[in-house]
Amino acid sequence: MLLASCSAVKRKQHTPCKNLVLFFHDIIYNGNNAGNATSAIVAAPEGANLTKLASKFHFGNIAVFDDPITLDNNLHSKPVGRAQGFYIYDTKNTYTSWLGFTFVLNSTQHQGTITFAGADPIMQKTRDISVTGGTGDFFMHRGIATIMTDAFEGEVYFRLHVDIKFYECW
């Protein structure tokens, strides 16, 4: 039996059938910002509270969110939809999380949902997560989303730049 090495195998270069760049803004509830908060800690390690992330890499915290999505990086721009889902801080020795969320888009340009899932090694400049499907304008779309932390203000606010490349478009 002859096995080809990975470096000898030529891979087909795929071209995205659709590309979309969006930003989502997360404001974590800290006990003092209920009016502005778009996410909340819903689970914490034993002895921790739900208004402050755990000290050691936030391990064990789970947060749910309903964040505004904008076309640019301005929190005060008109939202084109909502990012709804959760993140779980899942590693004890570095900042990393697992994401599961959906973009619910309701604008003149786009109607429908895009669903994402995957690991987020937060300390890396760019991270790829899977686009697992969609509805409406994104019916049965699949691909990759490259996320980058575009802003980070302590443990209260972060903004993600999300570059979505669809490789299956129906």
Residues composing the chain:
170
Is residue 6 included in any domain, yes or no? no
CA distance 23 to 150: 9
Is residue 123 included in any domain, yes or no? yes
Is residue 8 included in any domain, yes or no? no
Residue 3 has pLDDT above 90, yes or no: no
Per-residue confidence (pLDDT) for residue 85, from 0 to 100: 98
Is residue 11 included in any domain, yes or no? no
Task: Note whether 161 and 23 are within 8 A (CB).
Answer: yes
Task: Tell me the pLDDT band of 119, cut-offs 50, 70 and 90.
Answer: very high
Q: For residue 21, give its domain range.
A: 16-168
The CATH number linked to 115 is: 2.40.480.10
Task: Note whether 129 and 99 are within 8 A (CB).
Answer: yes
Quote the number of domains for the chain: 1
Is residue 2 included in any domain, yes or no? no
Is residue 119 included in any domain, yes or no? yes
Q: Give the max Cα distance, the chain.
A: 66
Is residue 74 included in any domain, yes or no? yes
Per-residue confidence (pLDDT) for residue 161, from 0 to 100: 98
Q: What is the mean pLDDT of the chain?
A: 91
Q: Is 28 exposed, middle or buried (0-12, 13-18, 19+ CB in 10 A)?
A: buried
Tens digit of each residue's pLDDT (9 = 90 or more) over 54-79: 888 999 999 999 999 999 999 999 99
Closest CA to 131 of 6, 40, 17: 17
Residue 169 has pLDDT above 70, yes or no: yes
Tell me the CA distances in angstroms from 40 to 12, 67, 156, 168, one per residue in order. 43, 11, 10, 34
Is residue 1 included in any domain, yes or no? no
Residue 150 has pLDDT above 90, yes or no: yes
Per-residue confidence (pLDDT) for residue 73, from 0 to 100: 96
Which neighbouring-strand residues pair with 161?
A: 23, 148
Lowest mean pLDDT among 2-16, 39-53, 100-114: 2-16
Write down the pTM of the prediction: 0.88
Residue 2 has pLDDT above 60, yes or no: no
Closest CA to 141 of 105, 108, 119, 115: 115
Task: Note whether 22 and 103 are within 8 A (CB).
Answer: yes
Residue 53 has pLDDT above 60, yes or no: yes
